[in-house]
Amino acid sequence: MPAFAPPENQPIVGHWGKPTSTLDFCEENYVVNFYIAEFWNTITNVSMIIPPLVGAVTSWRDGLERRYTASYILLTVVGIGSSLFHGSLLYHMQLLDELPMLFTAVQFLYCLLNMGGPHGKQSLFTIIYLNVLYLIAAIISIAYMVVGNPVFHQVAYGVIVAAILLEAFYVLKTHVHWRYLSWAFVSFGSYIMAFLIWLLDNNYCSDLRDMRADLGQQHPISVFSQLHGWWHLLAGIGSFLHILISSRVRMTYLGYNTKIKTICGIPYLQVSKEHEL
């Protein structure tokens, strides 16, 4: 069952009432909590909230270029918007999830396309370039709200992500030392796995629902079969690591020594104290 086709014959009982969103995912509504429409799809956004918050704080503290702090903040906004959307299944909350996705994606693309140049300085061309990318995201957003078809958003977002992946491969090929590749493979692998799981959830939803009905919603297998939640976790990890790698490549290009450290298991970029930013 496609994600954009609301499930049929599902009772709507819960704090937020009947869904007004154009999307209703495979997780059964209000079966875990009266106040959260899709419980597992809501809490799994943690990977798009906590790690990028750590990244935003550490990148700001350590003086990395603000484009990376902005990337972390935008990813956090996506995670919060997604939580509000899945928690309520209301249309205006849906927009808080989907529209920030477009602006976050173009921010990622801008960072990749602007690897050159001196630290902290932007030419008139790069400023215009960033504004053009954001204008494209704004035009797509307005068109999506007019069209109202989630597939339009999915295709537009997919095109931008494809451009990010292509540019990321080019950057890895031309700028990156081999020791950085393991992190890149984790990021890329996480996002590809997330996408494959998203496809499985869309196409085999009826089978997953039947299985959960037979086992019971609280059965461990039923919980782990909430595949859209796995999409959140893996896409969040992949996106967070993408920003980390992108900022590391940039700092390496500028001639700084970098290390990846961790705070409570969350990686962040540390620039060598031998250099002043």
pLDDT tens digit string along 125-177? 777 888 999 999 999 999 999 999 999 999 999 999 999 999 988 887 776 66
What is the Cα–Cα distance from 43 to 47, expressed in whole angstroms?
A: 9
Domain membership of residue 31 (yes or no) is: no
CATH number at residue 244: 1.20.1070
Mean pLDDT of the chain: 89
- Supply the pLDDT for residue 5: 43
Mean pLDDT over residues 67-92, rounded? 97
Q: The domain containing residue 242 runs over which residues?
A: 39-271
Please state the domain count of the chain: 1
Distance of CA 27 to the CA centre of its chain: 19
Domain membership of residue 16 (yes or no) is: no
Domain membership of residue 14 (yes or no) is: no
Mean pLDDT over residues 67-77, rounded? 97
Q: Which two tokens stand for residue 79?
A: 């995670």
Domain membership of residue 23 (yes or no) is: no
- Measured between its terminal Cα atoms, the distance across the chain in Å is 51
- Measuring CA to CA, which residue among 230, 200, 215 is closest to residue 31? 215
pTM of this prediction? Answer: 0.90
Residue 271 scores a pLDDT above 90: no
Domain membership of residue 157 (yes or no) is: yes
- Measuring CA to CA, which residue among 35, 28, 32 is closest to residue 14? 35
Residues constituting the chain: 277
∠ Cα 25 28 31 (to 5°)? 145
∠ Cα 266 65 114 (to 5°)? 110
What is the Cα–Cα distance from 46 to 42, expressed in whole angstroms?
A: 8
Confidence of residue 118 (pLDDT cuts 50, 70, 90): low
**Residue-wise pLDDT tens digits, 203-262:** 999 999 999 999 998 899 999 999 999 999 999 999 999 999 999 988 888 888 888 999
Domain membership of residue 130 (yes or no) is: yes
Domain membership of residue 202 (yes or no) is: yes
Domain membership of residue 181 (yes or no) is: yes
Residue 7 scores a pLDDT above 60: no
The residue with greater pLDDT, 56 or 3, is 56
Residue 90 scores a pLDDT above 50: yes
Q: Which two tokens stand for residue 249?
A: 């490549």
